[in-house]
């Protein structure tokens, strides 16, 4: 039997990242569960993956800090000997109308949602490069293609994720590295929980499937993108939004 592949999922202590880590664990990957602050939650994900019979570790790193990203990559390779899949997921949303936008908000979103993705992608690609094989999946958002009032900064960062996905895919394809993205709509995680009830109701009315998505519905597609089922797919953004953007 061939050796299990290794996946690193950023922001995997909660929400979509957690669901991706669990789906990859279920599919037999060894999983590095990155978190920023919530070690206990990350350890629960690690324990759940081990209970499925796969291996997992928790890795603390603020992925908007390049030094910490390099340290995280070293830790993953030291623990598992290699890395095969990166899921760039850790992100934040800070809704602010354009007239009230603050520079700290702009910096925080750009630092994590753009620079963080680039730091992790570069660190992973440097590992994939020599073995001419690897896969990066970026978690974007439907806000990259659909205007949502209050999301000027967030949507700009997710638009950047879509463009970096295409550019990285083109650059890295000759080295056997595939880069794709998923663009979720409203998914039932802490990020959506924090919205005011009236906003949630307003958004629900716009979703043709009439419900928010489940994190595991994103995890399954991420897992499929990492698999050989998608071996000829690169540079694509898959929208998973219950029809919201139609
Ligand atoms: P979430 O529930 O708020 O979870 C965020 C995760 O990111 C946590 O694991 C958190 O770790 C981690 N994180 C935060 N800052 C970090 C940092 N600086 N370094 C490393 N990890 C960090 O978020 P989510 O809803 O699952 O969203 C995940 C991704 O999906 C984001 O990129 C988001 O933009 C995208 N997305 C979400 C939705 C949605 O409706 N939920 C829709 C479209 C796109 P700690 O717990 O340790 O702080």
Tell me, yes or no, if the pTM score tops 0.95.
yes
What share of the chain in percent tops pLDDT 90?
A: 96
* pLDDT tens, position by position, 15-54: 999 999 999 999 999 999 999 999 999 999 999 999 999 9
Q: Is 172 in the pocket of ligand 1 (CB under 6 A)?
A: no
Q: Is 184 in the pocket of ligand 1 (CB under 6 A)?
A: yes
Q: Given the CA of residue 218, which atom of ligand 1 is nearest to it?
A: 30
SS3 192: helix
Q: Is 242 in the pocket of ligand 1 (CB under 6 A)?
A: no
∠ at Cα 31 (28, 33), nearest 5°?
Answer: 150
Q: Whose CA is nearest to atom 17 of ligand 1?
A: 62
Q: Does the annotation count 203 as an active-site position?
A: no
How much is the average pLDDT of 154-173?
98
Nearest to 16 by CA among 121, 119, 140, 124: 140
* pLDDT tens, position by position, 183-235: 999 999 998 888 889 989 999 999 999 999 999 999 999 999 999 999 999 99
Angle, helices 39-51/15-26, rounded to nearest 10 degrees: 20
Q: Given the CA of residue 62, which atom of ligand 1 is nearest to it?
A: 19
How much is the average pLDDT of 82-110?
97
- pLDDT, position 1: 44
**Secondary structure of 80-121 as H, E, C letters:** HCCCCEEEECCCCCCCECHHHCCHHHHHHHHHHHHHHHHHHH
Q: Is 162 in the pocket of ligand 1 (CB under 6 A)?
A: no
Q: Catalytic pick from 154, 175, 203, 232?
A: 154
Query: Does residue 102 come out as left (phi exceeding 0), alpha (psi in the -120 to 50 range) or beta?
Result: beta
Q: How many CA atoms lie within 13 A of 77 on its CB side?
A: 14
CA of 129 to the centre of ligand 1 (A): 27
Q: Is 15 in the pocket of ligand 1 (CB under 6 A)?
A: yes
Q: Given the CA of residue 15, which atom of ligand 1 is nearest to it?
A: 26
Contacts of 73 (CB under 8 A, 6+ apart): 8, 83, 123, 124, 127
CA of 242 to the centre of ligand 1 (A): 20
Q: Given the CA of residue 186, which atom of ligand 1 is nearest to it?
A: 40
Rounded CA separation 25/21 (Å) = 6
CA of 17 to the centre of ligand 1 (A): 7
């Amino acid at each position: 039997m061939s050796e299990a592949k290794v996946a690193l999922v950023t922001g995997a202590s909660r929400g979509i990242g957690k669901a991706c880590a669990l789906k990859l664990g279920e599919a037999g990957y060894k999983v590095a569960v990155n978190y920023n602050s919530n070690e206990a939650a990350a350890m629960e994900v690690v324990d759940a993956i081990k209970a499925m019979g796969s291996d997992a570790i928790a890795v603390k790193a603020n992925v908007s800090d390049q030094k910490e990203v390099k340290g995280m990559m070293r830790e993953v390779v030291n623990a598992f000997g290699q890395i095969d899949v990166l899921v760039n997921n850790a992100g934040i949303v800070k809704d602010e109308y354009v007239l009230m936008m603050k520079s700290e908000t702009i910096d925080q979103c750009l630092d994590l949602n753009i620079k963080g993705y680039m730091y992790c992608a570069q660190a992973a690609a440097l590992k994939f490069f020599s073995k001419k094989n690897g896969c990066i999946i970026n978690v974007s958002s439907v806000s990259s293609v659909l205007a949502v009032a209050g999301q000027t900064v967030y949507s700009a960062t997710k638009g950047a994720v879509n463009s970096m996905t295409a550019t990285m895919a083109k650059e890295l394809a000759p080295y056997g590295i595939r880069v794709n993205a998923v663009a979720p709509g409203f998914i039932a995680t802490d990020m959506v929980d924090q919205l005011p009830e009236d906003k949630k109701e307003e958004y629900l009315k716009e979703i043709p499937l009439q419900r928010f998505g489940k994190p595991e519905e994103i995890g399954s597609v991420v897992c499929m993108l990492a698999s050989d089922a998608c071996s000829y797919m690169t540079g694509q953004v898959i929208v998973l939004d219950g029809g919201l953007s139609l």
